[in-house]
Amino acid sequence: TPPSLVIAVDGPAASGKGTVARALAARFGLPHMDTGMLYRAVALSLLRWGGDPDSEFAALRACDAIGSLIDDAELRSETVGGVASRISAYPAVRQALLERQQEFAGQPDGAVLDGRDIGTVIAPGATAKLFVTASPEVRAERRVAELQARGMPVHYPDVLLDIRARDERDSHRSAAPLKQAADALLLDTSMLDREAAVAEAIRLVEARLAAV
Ligand code: CDP
Ligand code: CDP
């Protein structure tokens, strides 16, 4: 049997990691998991139930109820993203979501996962690791366009502040902070449209595969 191909895609909010991860999954015929949706589901479950996001215990309880929320339209809102970024700092929450992600990464053919800590914590032995980034301004513009297309009211300066706050929290927490793994390939999409970013990601992964 051919060896499994695990591709880890990490990066900050709206860097294009989801776009790149989905395209890589299609290109290599692999299943894809957007792990941010797990943290968003915990956040939404907590918000609906009225639990306190400042309590690690409450956030851990919210992890039990995420099954029914996986397709909820509200998952994509900035409110949910902000709470997700807060509850994702709790080690107990990260631990509760670990097994599900590692099982997904361990499928026989392999898998593509995108998030913040895939290359560093979830799948440190991944075949190929990409760290996708872009300037905060470009990422805020993308997030604005995305939310407007969904009919959600947005204001660029607020979105930029929110992106900066989330970068700060995600990079400075002690549990699995957002950082480029030593063996991850950097993909800066600031100057790349979707098509160019995807083409570059495929090129990087193919070059990596040719080297192993
Ligand atoms: O799409 P966007 O990058 O805005 O957010 P996301 O990937 O859906 O993740 C929402 C929040 O979950 C992030 O701000 C992170 O704090 C957290 N997260 C994480 O801690 N670890 C992951 N593997 C994925 C997301
Ligand atoms: O997963 P992440 O939050 O990192 O980003 P995404 O969902 O892949 O991309 C955020 C938004 O930027 C989406 O609307 C993408 O279509 C768009 N995008 C872009 O305009 N140019 C790129 N090179 C990549 C993504």
CA 139 to ligand 2 centroid distance, Å: 8
- Does residue 19 have a known ligand-binding role? yes
For residues 75-92, give the mean pLDDT: 92
Write down the mean pLDDT value for the chain. 95
d(CA 141, CA 151): 15
**In the prediction, which pLDDT does 95 show?**
98
**In the prediction, which pLDDT does 77 show?**
84
Higher pLDDT: 127 or 65? It is 127
For residues 51-68, give the mean pLDDT: 94
Contact indicator for 12, 162 with CB cutoff of 8 Å: no
**In the prediction, which pLDDT does 103 show?**
98
Nearest bound ligand to CA 18?
Answer: 2
pTM: 0.96
Instruction: Provide, rounded to the nearest whole percent, the portion of the chain with pLDDT above 90.
Output: 87
159-191 pLDDT tens trace: 999 999 999 999 999 999 999 999 999 999 999
- Does residue 12 have a known ligand-binding role? yes
Exposure string over 42-66, b if 16+ CB within 10 A, otherwise e = bbbbbbeeebebeeeebbbbbbebb
pLDDT at 1 over 70: no
User: Which residue puts its alpha carbon closest to atom 17 of ligand 2?
Assistant: 142
CA 2 to ligand 2 centroid distance, Å: 32
d(CA 197, CA 55): 39
- Does residue 45 have a known ligand-binding role? no
How many residues would you count in the chain?
A: 212
Structure tokens at 28: 């290599």
d(CA 8, CA 155): 32
Mutate to test the pocket of ligand 1, among 85, 130, 150 (most ligand atoms within 8 A of CB): 85
User: Which residue puts its alpha carbon closest to atom 1 of ligand 2?
Assistant: 18
The set of protein residues with a Cβ atom below 6 angstroms from ligand 2 is 11, 13-19, 142, 146, 189, 192-194, 197
pLDDT at 88 over 90: yes
Q: Report the atom number in ligand 2 closest to the C-alpha of 198.
A: 23
The set of protein residues with a Cβ atom below 6 angstroms from ligand 1 is 13-14, 35-36, 39-40, 81, 84-85, 88, 115-117, 166, 170
pLDDT at 49 over 80: yes
pLDDT at 2 over 80: no
- Does residue 36 have a known ligand-binding role? no
**In the prediction, which pLDDT does 3 show?**
80
For residues 116-133, give the mean pLDDT: 97
134-158 pLDDT tens trace: 999 999 999 999 989 989 889 999 9
Q: State how far Cα 108 lies from the chain centre.
A: 22
**In the prediction, which pLDDT does 140 show?**
97
For residues 40-57, give the mean pLDDT: 96
- Does residue 50 have a known ligand-binding role? no
